[in-house]
Amino acid sequence: MPPNFELAAAKNVPASFCHIHQTPSADQSLPRAFNDGCRDHKLTPNVENQTLLGPDEPPPFQIVQEHGHSAYFLTCDHGGKLLPRALGTLGLGPTDLDRHIAWDIGAAALARKLSDALDAWLIVQTYSRLAIDCNRPLHSPTSIAPISEATPIPGNQQISAADADTRRRTIFQPYHDRIVAELDARKILGRPTMLVAVHSFTPEFRGERRPWHVGVLYHRDARLARILLDLFRDESALVVGDNQPYAVSDESDYAIPIYGERRSIPHVEIEIRQDLLADESGQTEWAQRLTLALVQAEQLLKRPQ
């Protein structure tokens, strides 16, 4: 089992100090529900001893290829669909808990195959985004979504700040602390790093069919994304989404703004349509396609501009 890098509450630091960024927060106006002024990492010392997970429940993340040699650094924020026992089913039935509202179907299996093929470090979130979304800033209204794709989530209605923080500390924080620790270690060693966030999307949304087979998502820095867009478009049979079916933003996303843009490392979010990942053959096909494209992209990025 990989080490747990959950941070203890720091003492004798300003209320606006960010324990992860290790810098004072520029935003002094945020609500103090988490007793921390940083919009991205908030701590509440007075509930530090509470936890959602029993000793027999899985840890909040799994690491694949922990000692992988690739420059690629893979994340799968929505890979799991488990809920902590203490949360029950959040008032949902088994059908809803198998839907996209709970997890990115096929994404974890694809990410594992990609990790093995590239020899790349990968972290997979164990728990459902319905408990807390690990690809949302904590201040986002969808961090703990009261409604998802028109489906009310009874167990997420009007939860207290303390309950929200327990979810943050139990699921969100250990996951991101582990990512931060790994990225910091690679930086110290001078290892090249390229972030790829692996996700999947539904073939249909609100009655509209989505034609894209793959979506390439980015925000301010399109270095890696532009290369991948060109490589995917070389396959005439593929319908490629350029910031489709989603677009990255500071308000709706976490991994790309925090780990890609703030650290100035090449990065991209890859979205694959879920019906293409419905079985192992589809997952293998897409893992092979992505592996080839990412290897080519790495070489192209190394060329002098």
Domain ranges of the chain: 56-302
DSSP state of 154: G
Report d(CA 227, CA 290) in Å as an integer: 12
Residues forming beta bridges with residue 217, ordered by sequence position: 269
Tokens found for residue 282: 């589809």
Q: CA torsion 158→58→275→281, rounded to 10°?
A: 180
Whether the predicted pLDDT of 122 surpasses 90: yes
pLDDT tier at 78, thresholds 50, 70, 90: very high
Whether the predicted pLDDT of 149 surpasses 80: yes
CATH code of the domain occupying 56-302: 3.40.630.40
Tell me the angle at which helices 107-118 and 280-302 cross, rounded to the nearest 10 degrees.
50
pLDDT tier at 83, thresholds 50, 70, 90: very high
Whether the predicted pLDDT of 286 surpasses 60: yes
Decide which of 7 and 164 is more confident. Answer: 164
- Give the gyration radius of the chain's Cα atoms: 19
Entry pTM: 0.84
Q: CA torsion 140→146→148→151, rounded to 10°?
A: -170
Average pLDDT over residues 86-96: 97
pLDDT tier at 28, thresholds 50, 70, 90: very low
